[in-house]
Structure formats: C-alpha cells, structure tokens
Amino acid sequence: MKKETVFASILLLFSTLLTAFCVAEISFPETFLTVSDKDWFLEFFPNGWKYNIQIGIGAFLLATILIIPAWKLSKEFTIKALETLFRVGIGGFFIASSLFKIESPKEFAVLMAQYQFFPALGLEFLNNIFALMYPQLEFWFGLALIISPFTKEAALVIFLMFISFIIALSWAIFHDLGITCGCFNIEGAQDKNETWTSLIRDLILLVPNFWLLLRPNKTLWNLWRK
C-alpha cells in the first residue's frame, strides 16, 4: 500500500469517528461516543451539556474538512472508502431504525398518529398502512444499500424517506407538537427538543445519501476489485 493511501486511510478513519461522534452528540446523548454529558467535560464547562448540537455540528464540519486532504492524497481510494462508509453507515442506520417498529407495529402506529399529519389531510386511514409498510421499507432498502448492486435505486428510496422524515419533523415543530421522531424507540416520545435534534441529524445524513445517488451501481465487492 502506498504511503499516500495510508495517510488517506488515517484521515478517513478520523473523519468516520468524528461523524459517529456527531450523530451520537445530536441524537444519542449519554452514550460512550459523547462528551457533553461526561463529568470530566462538565467540570471544565458546567453548561456544556446545553451545546451538544453545536458540538455535533462542529464535529461534522471537521470530519468534512478531513476528507479534503485525503481526497488530494488518494482520490480513487477516498471515493471507494467514502462510498463504503456511507452505504454501510446509512444502510445500518435504517436497519437498526426499523427493528423496533417491526416488532411493535401498534405502538409505532400510535406514535405516527401523534404527528396529526394524515388526519389534517383527511387521510387518517393511511396511518396504520404506513405504520406497517414504512419499517419494512427501511429494513429492506437499508439492506439493499449495503449488499445489492442497486446503489442508485436504494439510495433514491432512502433519500425520499429522509425527505418524508424532514417534512414530518418540520410539521411537528411548526405545529408545536412535543414529540420525537420515534426513530429508535417509542418510550419518552414527548420531548420537543428531540424533534429539533432529529431534524438536524436527518439534514446532515441527507448530504452523504445524496452523494450516493450520483454513484454507479456496483456491489461493495465489485467496488474494491481491481
């Protein structure tokens, strides 16, 4: 392996860690990936817990900046690595998001009803249909993004799902509904602040997802073949 590729790998590794840190800070506080909730951090910055979103966005911007020198060092390797990371990361995100919804469709239907979106359009009957179908779409297209050669098609469906999440979350914020997106759990879905964090997270993840729409259709195996 050329030294340029080695240096590019190191930069992309740090970029990946920073992106994971970003998502954790914004959406999954009190995990091992966060710092804004740690005692040692709060000793230095007592009010630091209030700025988890800003810390997360800062980490994402730094992660993006690190891609630039990696790209200049080894463009071909960086493109392959980014596509792999984006496909596995976003695909895994949707698979993980779908599991509890598939296990608890009734509870997920109740959570969806809290958005009051379909009733406002006179389409209340769609609530239960979406509660059953959406988790299946998340699971299978998340899996397809990782293992199938249909990168563009899977990324397009996931892109549209991201858009639907953004519309729903914006609707909830506009109508002052104190709910969360219900992406990974149902319990405690009554915090308006989490609606904002979910919206910011989805807007951030929309960027790599859009990039995947521009990639040629290949399996990850063929992507790395000479």
Number of helices (H), then strands (E), in the chain: 10, 0
With beta carbons less than 8 A apart as the criterion, state whether 12 and 67 touch. Answer: yes
- For position 188, what pLDDT does the model report? 46
Tell me the CA distances in angstroms from 6 to 64, 141, 152, 188, one per residue in order.
18, 32, 29, 44
Which of the two residues, 144 and 132, has the higher pLDDT score? 144
- For position 157, what pLDDT does the model report? 94
Which whole number is the average pLDDT over 110-137? 72
In whole angstroms, give the CA distance from residue 141 to residue 151: 10
- For position 106, what pLDDT does the model report? 77
What mean pLDDT value characterizes the chain?
A: 83
pLDDT (tens digit, 9 = 90+) per residue, 137-187?
A: 999 999 999 999 999 999 999 999 899 888 878 877 776 666 555 555 555
With beta carbons less than 8 A apart as the criterion, state whether 177 and 198 touch. Answer: no
User: b/e for 49-67, b at 16 or more Cβ within 10 A?
Assistant: beebbebbbebbeebbebb
226 falls in which pLDDT band (50, 70, 90)? low
